Amino acid sequence: MNAERTYGTAAFAALAGVTPRALRHYDRLGLLRPTRSSTGYRRYRERDLETLEEIVALKFIGLPLKQIAAIRRRPERPFAQVLRAQREALEVRRRVLTRAVEAIAAAEVRLGSTEGRSADAIRRIIEVMHVEQNQERLIDTYTTALKTMASRLAAMSTGERATLRQEWAALVEDVRAALGEDPRRPRAQSLLDRWLSLQQAIAGGRETAAAVSATELRAELWARRADWLPPDAARTAEDLSDASEALAHVRALAASFAGDDVLAFIGRAKAARE
């Protein structure tokens, strides 16, 4: 009595919408071990179906079976972290696919117009591919720079941040007042010194600073911000590894950078120095 309903491999596979071979695979990996009949046949129970559905769901979001096994045993990382990392990985793959589709579309246009030859179309793919790879590299550089700045700012005390902000505002004001001056004069050169040391304080290493100060780079990136700026501010703050305060600083920084006249003056002072 109370004999529980069980299923053979094929029946259970059909019930769950997977193949029998997949069930054997999960069994071998230890993901889902059914009981065995006296003759060695696999016997699945009703409650195995819940387990299998979980496995299929985690596979649907692209997790490898090994990681699924780890999560089901006991997650070594909090599930929220797993989900976030996986979502970001999928978003990267989706962007790659988008680039490829764009390259194909460009090649199709080339092929359709004025009896294009396939060699021309392939060349077009190469062009689009290179342009897009450069953009990816710019985005990576800039995103890394932003994260570096955010974490440095987050590591400072409130007082330090306030000081920095004041110094920065003062410097920008002083530069504005000196815009017409000769960039070779000591006055301009001393403004440049202040600029470089503030940049060093916020951005740290030289590469970060360089990435942040390239004007064309920022223009290009801003034009394509939909590609790298997450849609909602909450997520952005999280990405930058700390709180909205750090993000606010980065924004203030970006805003202060936005004055092209100021940047041009600093550029002239740099050019005069060498």
Partner DNA sequence: TTGCTCCTCACGTCACGTGAGGTGGC
For binding to DNA (CB under 7 A), which residues are involved?
8-11, 18-22, 24-25, 37-42, 59, 64-66
Amino acid 50 reads: E
Pick one of 29, 129, 248, 252: the residue that binds a copy of itself (CB under 8 A).
129
Place of tokens 């029998």: 20
| Cβ atoms of 10 and 41 closer than 8 Å | no
Least spacing, CB of residue 226 vs DNA, in Å: 30
Is residue 112 near a copy of itself by the rule CB under 8 A?
A: yes
Q: Determine the Cα–Cα distance for residues 225 and 249; give it in Å rounded to an integer.
A: 19
| Cβ atoms of 228 and 139 closer than 8 Å | yes
Is residue 14 near a copy of itself by the rule CB under 8 A?
A: no
Least spacing, CB of residue 80 vs a copy of itself, in Å: 5
- List CB contacts of 100: < 8 A, sequence separation 6 or more: none
Task: Please name the helix (run of DSSP H) or strand (run of DSSP E) that holds residue 35, with its range, or none.
Answer: strand 35-36
Is residue 251 near a copy of itself by the rule CB under 8 A?
A: no
Is residue 70 near a copy of itself by the rule CB under 8 A?
A: no
| Other CB atoms within 10 Å distance of the CB of residue 92 | 11
Is residue 223 near a copy of itself by the rule CB under 8 A?
A: no
Is residue 62 near a copy of itself by the rule CB under 8 A?
A: yes
Pick one of 3, 60, 113, 186: the residue that binds a copy of itself (CB under 8 A).
60
Task: Choose the contact partner of 97 out of DNA, a copy of itself, none; CB within 5 to 8 A by kind.
Answer: a copy of itself
Looking at beta carbons only, is 228 or 257 nearer to a copy of itself?
Answer: 228
The sheet carrying 35-36 orders its strands as 6-7, 42-45, 35-36
Is residue 121 near a copy of itself by the rule CB under 8 A?
A: yes
Least spacing, CB of residue 13 vs DNA, in Å: 8
**Nearest 5°: CA angle at 259, between 258 and 262?**
130
Quick one: which of 154, 204, 193, 194 has its CA closest to 170? 194
* 6-7 and 35-36 strand pairing: unpaired
Least spacing, CB of residue 23 vs DNA, in Å: 8
Place of tokens 């993000």: 247
* Contact residues: a copy of itself, CB under 8 A: 53-54, 56-58, 60-62, 71, 75, 79-80, 83-84, 86-87, 90-91, 93-94, 97-98, 100-101, 103-105, 107-108, 111-112, 118, 121-122, 125-126, 129
